[in-house]
Amino acid sequence: MGAKYFGASVRRKEDPRLLTGRGRYVDDIVLPRTLELAFLRSPHGHARIRSIEVRRAASVQGVRRVLTFEDLARWMKPLPIFAATPPGLAARVKFETKHAPQYAMAKDKVRFAGEIVAVVVADSRYLAEDGVDLIGVDYEPLPAVVEAEAATRPDAAVLHEEWGDNIAVAFQHAVGDSEAAFARATAVVRERFRVQRYAGMPIEPRGVIASFGAHDGSLTVWSATQVPHAIQQGLAGILELPVHKVRVIAPDVGGGFGTKAYWYPEELLVSLVALIMNRPAKWTEDRREHLLSAAQARDQLHDVEVAADHDGRILGIRDRMWLDMGAYNTWGTALPWNTVAHLCGPYRVPTLSVDVKAIVSNKAPNAPYRGAGRPEVVFVVDRALDLLARQLGMDPVELRRRNLIRPDELPYDLKMPYRDGNPLVYDSGDFPATFEAAVKAADYQQFRAEQKRLRAAGVYRGIGVSSYIEGTGLGPYEGAFVQLDLSGRLVVSTGACSQGQGLETSLAQIAADTFGVPLEWVTVIGGDTQMIPFGIGTFASRSAVLAGNAVATACTEVRRKFLEAAAKFLEVAAEDLELGDGQVQVRGVPDSAVPLGRVVQACLPTHRAPGVAQPSFEASFYHHVPTVTYANATHVAQVEVDPDTGAVKLLRYVVAHDCGRVINPMIVDGQIHGGVAQGIGGALLEELVYDESGQLLSGSFMDYLVPTAMEVPRMTTLHMQFPSPRNPLGIKGVGEGGAISPPAAISNAIEDALAPFGIRITRTPVSPSSLVTLLAEAERAS
Amino acid sequence: MKPAPFHYHAPRSLDECLELLARYGAEAKVLAGGQSLMPMMNFRLARPAALIDINRLPALDHVALTDGVIRVGALVRQRRLERHAEATARIPLLREALALVGHPAIRNRGTVCGSIAHADPAAELPAALLCLDGRAVVKSRRGERAIAVEELFRGPLTTALEPDELLTEVQFSIPPAGAGSAFLEVARRHGDFALVGAAAVVQVEAGHGVKSLHLVVFGAGPGPMRSPKAEAVLVGAQATLPRIAEIRRVVSDAVKADSDLHATAEYRRRVAGVLAERAVTLAIARCAGKGVA
């Protein structure tokens, strides 16, 4: 493959339309006679539904229908879930798991504030909301479960009565002899760390528009989703339609982050209204609904212990953890095991012992959000390592140096399975090189000297480091279907769908290079089930790895077919042809060059003669990976803290990372910048706060604080390119990485800045108020 | 997030506007920039029967400097005042306070008077009005009256305006020549309402110390609060470092704040003092030719 585009920061193909307001998001799709939906959502965290009275709502002018569970009972089947534990994982870890069905509407009982209780269908969203206002529901409020440790107590209210308790997943796992390791340790640090509940906040909220074709029994659904094929299959199953009669399209999507990798009630309810009422039906989520009912994330509690020898070498880690999954555990063991699988990170951890409980609570359900367990556990471990360094009187950078896995130890077997059930073996990279690159770019030594000088002047600056390993490119497959059109242009269809991150461009770069055409000759279509029959979707840092390699292989095959035809057309052997810049020619004979379209056209039969070859210029390829490939990174944060007000200023942020071969450095920079911004939100600002009755207190952007451009510092990003040996293109995923380390790096930096005061940061977000509280406590204690 | 049904009126004259206010009374809300009102209506937290849109009353769109005050009409956008060279040269505190109100997009629509009438305890402009000895001019069919700022704010989101009255103008007093001022706050993010803030206007006389001090803290109680006790520490005395430090203690002691999602009451109490001390220090440093003694 020539590499004209691969590795170049070519401008994003999608940007002209997205930046000039010509993108087409779900809400931009307008169909005649569309009805709009509004949902009555539970105001209670936990309550029994005694009765629902809809008569007044139904009488509002313009309200066409009010629907409850009973009205739609025929279709109220458990929503599809992503919960199956891969057999390889189930064989190695003894999980105790329970599942509870989630229905599109609450049945008898509501389990989180925001759960749908009734649907109002009206001529406009305004009228639909007027209808919602008039529905009367008689609730019997129940005690709520809002804290993970408390959820496991015998006197806790139970969400899913048939379970008997609130524990969705429980397991223990050990590698090596943890007890012996702790027994011979010189230093042991113990701490309880809490990572708050926060979530992806795409600029475009969710949205669904559905249209039923009564003439052919087909259903077309546009949804702002990351997983259109899963939505298609789920709808076909519930509605008892052949799969091909359901077409799901994810058009332009304004950010996913995992929030849109979920099978949502609204996707079924909007489709059902279109089906029942034989009119297009639409719902666009507003921000209030998004905060209340879109998938949430994080929310973990860890009691961690790290044992080390006198040189600071880790001997073992023990971690007792609680994960709060919200009301329904749709993703099964994925988050708990992902958390455990990323606990050791780039460090040599000879013994490990974990005790994990994932519980359900009266909060919106969780789904994996950018990082998916990694930001949480990296916060826990990298914070604990800073505590260990302090206890040993060692520089935290030096302590990490002694524990990083060396390149000569790769492939490095963690002796546990990955989330996909296959052995967890780090395949590639140079963790110390990544680490040192970040530390050097952040001028670590110079910062330390400066820090001392400034402290004497009453200025408190700190520096914090965090590193991670990330399994990327989760299988099992993604496909590409590639066609050449009559003019010799390429159409590439894939089940991966861009959420705005630049996938159209990245995949087009691969296709253009592989085939030998200009970039602008490639059209990439993602997220339309009609264009490719099978697909998984975009999440888990998987699309570049899986779809990228699928595109390369499919393009190679179409190219082969094309060269065969061109050989016949030019009457030479295929091996004597060269293809580039959209032309094919006899090698070394520029005069023989013809545009690709001429060859395609020559293959079409005419009334006089058949074509020179079969005009079959298409191929599909489904790239399968047995397991993930491991990306790694080190983040360094520099902060200045005002100890009188608790205000934290981010001065600098450095990321050195290895995502294998970089397709487009500019797009990768963008991925990292966006991820770090979300990580800054997690470190300093964002929190979904529930009160003891399960009310969401941070229900608007006045109270749920996402970072703005003002809170995000300039970043230095260094691309360390250690190709993956696990796929032909040498790619590793990079979609999530940026969000993993900021909570740890920033918290470490803040604690470092305030080292003279001796405070300990054990939870995020670190707010000015929480810092002043810690400082006041430290003052009282001293 | 769509508002409940309401009637919409866009009067073409002040008389018509006051007529409508008299007719609807507490059932109506005045729409100027809509930066607080519209979200509240979209959440259905506010359900006015009628909106009276004053955007077609150009007579209310004035910024004027007269009689030692800057008069700002009800339609003047925050951004316009922020960029008003003469007004902000005469009252530098205004520019400092306005730059902390939301973001430019918000200030392009939000009005100065709207923010005053909304009376959010953590908002910048009510604090600035209090610090600058301002007053509000209100009109109704019953006539016109001026309300001194001390009488204006009655608690969170509550003012002394009667339901039939329209806030037509606010007046900020221009501090004497040579006075120094400062406006400081801590917010979770740039543009957010303050967790707590402080504003100071100070006059220092050569050899005689502090002649006058206006010190206001906000975001730390039901409304912006002047601190006479803290002012008394400095007025008539030399601004020594211990005296300025004393302000911190006096202000903190005077604050009775609430806790919310973003800060504890204790945080607000402590940091109100910190910011008051800093604002006074900075304001003194900004006095023409005067530093801290």
Concatenated DSSP letters of A445-484: HHHHHHHHHHHHTT-EEEEEEEEEEEEES-SSEEEEEEEE
Tell me: do B150 and B189 sit in the same domain: no
Residue A338's H or E segment, with its range, is helix A334-341
Please report, for residues A15, A130, B169, the alpha-carbon distance to residue B139 in angstroms, rounded to integers and kept in the order given: 51, 35, 9
Cβ-defined contact of B189 to A708 (cutoff 8 Å):
yes
Asked if the interface predicted TM-score (ipTM) of this complex is over 0.90, the answer is yes
Smallest Cα distance from A431 to chain B, Å = 35
Q: How far A690 CA lies from chain B's nearest CA (Å)?
A: 10
- Of B173, B190, B210, which one is at a domain's C-terminal end? B173
Beta bridge partners of A193: A302
> Are B43 and A288 inside 8 Å of each other by CB?
yes
Q: Grade residue A1 by pLDDT with cuts at 50, 70 and 90.
A: very low
On whether residue B2 sits in a domain, the answer given is no
Cβ(B255)–Cβ(B220) below 8 Å:
yes
Q: Tell if the CB–CB gap between A705 and B188 is shorter than 8 Å.
A: yes
Confidence class for position A83, pLDDT limits 50, 70, 90: confident
- Give the number of other CB atoms < 10 A from CB of residue B104: 12
Check residue A480 and give its pLDDT. 98
Whether B73 and B160 map to the same domain: the answer is: yes
Contact present, A37 and A269 (Cβ < 8 Å): yes
From chain A, pick out residues whose CB is under 8 angstroms from the CB of B263: 767-769
Contact A110/A144 with Cβ under 8 angstroms?
no
Q: Is A278 on the interface with B (CB under 8 A)?
A: no
For residues A198 and A681, give the distance between their C-alpha atoms in angstroms, rounded to a whole number: 9
Nearest CA-CA partner of B75 in B169, B3, B152: B169
- What SS3 class is residue B111? strand
Q: If you average pLDDT over residues A321-334, what whole number do you get?
A: 95
Q: Can you tell me the mean pLDDT for A622-633?
A: 96
The whole-angstrom separation of Cα A547 and Cα A531 is 14
Chain A, window 218-277: residues with a beta carbon less than 8 angstroms from a chain B beta carbon: none
Taking the C-alpha atoms of residue A317 and residue A188, their distance in angstroms, rounded to an integer, is: 9
In this structure, the answer to whether residues B94 and B139 fall within a common structural domain is yes
Amino acid in the structure at residue A568: K
Q: Which CATH class is domain A15-21+476-624?
A: alpha beta
User: Nearest-CA distance from A710 to chain B in Å?
Assistant: 6
For residues B174 and B199, the answer to whether their CB atoms sit within 8 Å is no
CB–CB of B5 and A130 under 8 A? yes
Assigned domain for B293 exists:
no
Amino acid at A605: P
Residue of A nearest to B4 (CA): A130
> Domain A31-69+105-142 adopts which CATH fold?
Aldehyde Oxidoreductase; domain 3 (3.90.1170)
Domain co-membership, B72 together with B124: yes
Q: Give the residue numbers spanning the domain of B93.
A: 60-173
CATH code, B236? 3.30.390.50
Residue A288 in contact with partner chain B when CB distance is under 8 A: yes
The rounded distance, in Å, linking the Cα atoms of A723 and A688 is: 38
Contact of A252 with A500, CB cutoff 8 Å: yes
Instruction: Work out the angle at residue A196's Cα, subtended by the Cα atoms of residues A756 and A289, and round it to the nearest 5 degrees.
Output: 140
Our CA-based measurement puts residue A718 at a distance from the nearest CA of chain B, in whole angstroms, of 28
Placement of tokens 């009609």 in the chain: A530
More confident call, A326 vs B208: A326
Please write the tens of the pLDDT for every residue from A95-141. Answer: 999 999 999 999 999 999 999 999 999 999 999 999 999 999 999 99
- Residue B285 confidence class, pLDDT cut points 50, 70, 90: very high
| pLDDT above 70 (res B156) | yes
Inspect the interface and report whether the beta carbons of A773 and B264 lie closer than 8 Å: yes
Of the residues B173, B194, B229, the one at which a domain ends: B173
What number of other Cβ atoms are within 10 A of residue A101's Cβ? 12
- Cβ-Cβ pairs closer than 8 A, A with B, add up to 73
Portions of chain A given CATH number 3.90.1170.50: 31-69+105-142
The two beta strands, A207-213 and A522-526, are: unpaired
Contact A645 B186 (CB under 8 A): yes
Any B CB within 8 A of A422 CB: no
Handedness of CA B121, B124, B129, B135 (dihedral sign): negative
Compute the nearest-CA separation of A169 from chain B (Å): 31
Structure tokens at A349: 């951890």
Does the pLDDT at position B203 exceed 90? yes
**Position of tokens 């604002």?**
B279
- The C-alpha atoms of residue A637 and residue A465 are separated, in whole angstroms, by 7
The answer to whether residue B291 sits within a structural domain is no
| A130, A689, A768 member nearest B186 (Cβ) | A768
Domain boundary residue, one of B157, B173, B189:
B173
Could you give the number of structural domains in chain B? 3
Same domain for B151 and B76:
yes
For residues A431 and A404, is the Cβ–Cβ distance under 8 A? yes
Q: Which residue on chain B is closest to A770 by alpha carbon?
A: B263
Residues B66 and B157 in one domain: yes
Decide if A705 and B270 are in contact by the 8 Å CB cutoff: no
The answer to whether residues B89 and B138 belong to one domain is yes
Domain spanning A381-386+393-470+629-781: CATH 1.10.287.610 = no
Q: How far is B153 from chain A (nearest CA, A)?
A: 23
Would you state the structure tokens that stand for residue A74, as one six-digit string?
């025929």
Interface contact flag, A647 B186, Cβ < 8 Å: yes
pLDDT of A576 > 60? The answer is: yes
Q: Which residues are bridge partners to A209 per DSSP? A: A222, A282
Report if residue B1 sits inside a domain.
Answer: no
What pLDDT is attached to residue A446? 98
Q: Is A685 on the interface with B (CB under 8 A)?
A: yes
The C-alpha angle A466, A470, A475, rounded to 5 degrees, equals 170
Q: Do B270 and A772 touch (CB under 8 A)?
A: yes
- Average the pLDDT over B127-140 and give the result: 98
Distance CA B282, CA B262 (A): 26
Secondary structure letter of residue A404 according to DSSP: B
What pLDDT was estimated at residue B290?
A: 52
Of A337, A332, A397, the residue nearest A745 (C-alpha) = A397
Does B97 map to a domain? Answer: yes
The residue of A127, A769, A773 whose CB has the most chain B CBs within 10 angstroms, and thus the best one to mutate to test that interface, is A769
For A741-745, what is the mean pLDDT? 98
The closest of A432, A364, A442 to A398, measured between CA atoms, is: A432
Q: pLDDT tens across A698-736, in order?
A: 999 999 999 999 999 999 999 999 999 999 999 999 999
Q: What residues 519-558 of chain A have any CB closer than 8 A to a CB of chain B?
A: none
User: Do residue B270 and residue A776 have CB atoms under 8 angstroms apart?
Assistant: yes
Show residues of chain B in contact with A125, CB under 8 Å. 2
Assess whether B68 and B169 both reside in one domain.
yes
Q: Going by C-beta distance under 8 Å and a sequence separation of 6 or more, which residues neighbour residue A15?
A: none
Cross-chain Cβ contact A644/B274 below 8 Å: yes
Which one-letter DSSP state was computed for residue A365? P
Contact list, B262 vs chain A (CB under 8 Å): 703, 767, 769
User: Quick one: B163 and B191 in the same domain?
Assistant: no
**At A493, phi and psi to the nearest 5?**
-110, 140
Q: Does domain A204-254+260-294 have CATH number 3.40.50.300?
A: no
The ranges of chain A annotated as CATH 3.30.365.10 are 15-21+476-624, 204-254+260-294, 381-386+393-470+629-781
Residues B42 and B86 grouped into a single domain = no
Say if the Cβ atoms of B188 and A768 lie within 8 Å: yes
Q: Does B38 lie in the same domain as B77?
A: no
Whole-angstrom Cα distance, residue A383 to residue A677?
A: 20
Chain B residues within 8 A of A772 when measuring between CB atoms = 266-267, 270-271
Residue A3 pLDDT > 80, yes or no? no
Whether the CB of A203 is below 8 Å from some CB of chain B: the reply is no
Chain B positions in Cβ-Cβ contact with residue A288 (cut-off 8 Å): 1, 43
Q: What is the pTM of this model?
A: 0.97
Question: Tokens for B121?
Answer: 């305890």
Q: Which residues of chain B make contact with A133, given a CB cutoff of 8 A?
A: 4, 44
Residue B291 above 60 pLDDT? no
Does residue A172 carry a pLDDT above 50? yes
Q: Is the pLDDT of residue B289 over 70?
A: no
* Residues B136 and B48 reside in one and the same domain: no
pLDDT score of A82 more than 90: no
A715/A750 Cα distance (integer angstroms): 18
Name residue A68's beta-bridge partners: A118
| Cα–Cα nearest to A632, from A385, A386, A407, A299 | A407
Whole-angstrom Cα distance, residue A242 to residue A235? Answer: 10
Judged by a CB distance cut-off of 8 A, whether residue B5 touches chain A is yes
